[in-house]
Structure 1
Amino acid sequence: MPRALITGITGQDGLYLSELLLAKGYDVYGLIRGQNNPKLDLVRETVPGVKLLTGDLTDMSSLIRALNVARPDEVYNLGAISFVAYSWENAMLTTDVTGKGVLNILEAVRLYSGDDPTKVRYYQASSSEMFGKVQEVPQRESTLLWPRSPYGVAKVFGHYMTINYRESYGMHASSGILFNHESPRRGFEFVTRKVSQAVARISLGMQDGITMGNLDAKRDWGFAGDYVEAMWLMLQQDTPDDYVISTGVTHSIRDLLEVAFERVGITDWERLITQDPRFMRPAEVELLIGDSAKAKSVLGWEPKVGFTELVQMMVDNDLELQREQKDK
């Protein structure tokens, strides 16, 4: 039975990846920060087959302990402070967790592996936010990185550190440069879930409108459940490498709003939107669109869920949740 250790187990990617690995017969361990983590019950209910370990990306000794307990064949580092807007408010903490945390887990894996640098196969969750002020459209593995947020800068550090450990020590370390991926499990602070929840509440008469930031920013949105399969496929390759994972199609925030409101039968949605400068980024990333041709040719990976289906899935989920709340 193969064994895997996942950091960031409480996030949407951690939950979907856990389900995938458990279905494939893995013995799965999840790293969770703090004894009173508010998402502990969520993980236990969603993926009861996962064995939970306490640890923190900022504490290498806890990572080494987790590795010694889990004895993994594969490590998936999904842990990060991943809300971009928050990274301006807490740049130091974002750097410690999202950037230096990668160095900590890489070094812990290297020490654990001893004389066999390929004993553990390592996956690093890199991000399309690394492209920032895009220098090429679409963005591919070779595109110059120009991050526009403390989060993006921290992700660039982790990405290059993963490459460095691969080249310096011969580790089987791969990075997935994942473009925006969403799901009904997305946190409420993210714009897609903010919209799907608000649209559900508006349609049920529980909310009057939505306050938004930049409606013209464009993103390449896919389904998180599809993207975790790409993570797994990277670690099944004989040779480690870096891959862009994306749909290759871009949509604006306006498109997101239109599809979401259409799902609940509201066509004149513009009257329900208020824009507030507080939700504008200090340095905006205007257009992200990925070229995942390499992932298709090498991994055989392609996204299955399209943009419209994804947004409808999220709205339907929040309609059900809000109806339950309304009926209480």
Structure 2
Amino acid sequence: MEPRRALITGITGQDGGHLTELLHEKGYEVFGLIRGQRNSRREAVVGEFPYVHLIEADLTDQTSLIRAVDVAQPHEIYNLGAISHVGYSFRNPQLTADVTAKGTLNLLEAVRITGLDQHTRFYQASTSEMFGGLDYNRPGTGYDEDSLFHPRSPYGVAKLYAHWIARNYRESYGMFVATGILFNHEGERRGLEFVTRKITDAVARIHWGLADHVTLGDLYPKRDWGYAGDYVRGMWQMLQHHEPDDFVLATGETHSIEEFLTLAFGEIGIEDWHPYVRQDAELQRPAEVDILLGNPAKAERVLGWKREVDFAGLVKRMVDHDLRLHAPEGR
């Protein structure tokens, strides 16, 4: 029996790496979209995942997407590709719209044009940033699949378009399109531009005497933080379900950046992190989301999904990774 084939956009990102690993372990033949002939991340992907078939394509170039889908003939597509950093989206809103919003439309159209729309299952990576953190969530229960959206960044707005166009293709063309509204999920593969990895990388460097501080923006925002490995398992489960639907993946609890700092510095024996943290107004966003709390009850009930790594375990995992990464030779 031939293996199932999966095509992943955004394979060079955090979730792409975790998902590639998961699918390979399940016996899939994995194809990944990579942008540009000289993509700086190509070597890293090939080194870590030598079994992946890389296809050069770009979410802003529909012709390349049609070719990629035709080459891969995927049973499943995971659309993880996006301009995924909220702060960056304020500085480059048009690029964010072109890649994150219109790119999803281009990929959906590529599936339809190649005639695979009734044979390929499509996962759309939606985000909790679509909710915006205003007072529309039910007190104490968090945002769920029926909560109102009010995005507070160009990234959130672009993702909301992608979310709705994905649902539109499901309803208009009968495509198997599942959307995962994922709350913040982190891990050792997280990019250094994200606050969690910025903190754990700095903690490790401070421990080994390579740095004496970390510079951050606001410290009060609270997020529903989980482990990326748990969340990509949920993505896969959505495409194995008998019908396409929308699912929130979250932990159901929030923690502030200050709490993250406390645990991270605690891993290297520092109880008071304040002397090691500087704040810079330039790192503050024009519109901040104070709190994001998700309600994963539907995914837990329907899919049987459950997160395995708790908040303390997530922070420890990330700090341990960065301590090993920066350790002097022989340590």
**TM-score when scaled to structure 1?**
0.97
Which residue does the alignment assign to 1:188? Answer: 192
Q: 1:92 aligns with which of 73, 94, 98?
A: 94
> Percent of pairs identical after alignment?
56
Which residue does the alignment assign to 1:122? Answer: 122
Q: Distance in 2 between matches of 1:28 and 1:272?
A: 43
Q: Are 1:113 and 2:115 counterparts?
A: yes
Q: 2:69 aligns with which of 48, 67, 70?
A: 67
Question: Are the aligned partners of 1:113 and 1:120 in contact in 2 as well (CA < 8 Å)?
Answer: no
Q: Distance in 2 between matches of 1:103 and 1:198?
A: 38
Paired residues, number: 325
**Partner letter of residue 38 of structure 2?**
N
TM-aligned CA deviation for residue 147 of structure 1: 0.3
Q: What's the secondary structure of 1:30's corresponding residue?
A: strand
TM-aligned CA deviation for residue 113 of structure 1: 2.5
Which residue does the alignment assign to 1:26? Answer: 28
TM-aligned CA deviation for residue 284 of structure 1: 0.5
Q: CA RMSD in A?
A: 1.2
Which residue does the alignment assign to 2:56? Answer: 54
Deviations along 1:88-135, one digit per CA (max 9) or x if unpaired, are 110000000001001000111111225xx4211000000011011331
Q: Distance in 1 between matches of 2:229 and 2:147?
A: 26
After superposition, residues 1-328 of structure 1 pair within 5 angstroms as 1-113=3-115, 117-134=117-134, 135-137=136-138, 138-324=142-328
Q: Distance in 1 between matches of 2:14 and 2:264?
A: 20
Question: Are the aligned partners of 2:203 and 2:265 in contact in 1 as well (CA < 8 Å)?
Answer: yes
Q: Distance in 1 between matches of 2:298 and 2:173?
A: 25
Q: What's the secondary structure of 2:240's corresponding residue?
A: coil
Question: Are the aligned partners of 1:184 and 1:314 in contact in 2 as well (CA < 8 Å)?
Answer: yes
**Partner letter of residue 53 of structure 1?**
I
Q: Distance in 1 between matches of 2:63 and 2:185?
A: 32
**Partner letter of residue 219 of structure 2?**
L
Q: Distance in 1 between matches of 2:274 and 2:149?
A: 35
Q: Distance in 1 between matches of 2:278 and 2:55?
A: 43
**Partner letter of residue 109 of structure 1?**
V
Moved over 3 A (4+): none
Deviations along 1:230-249, one digit per CA (max 9) or x if unpaired, are 10111111210000001111
Q: What's the secondary structure of 1:53's corresponding residue?
A: strand
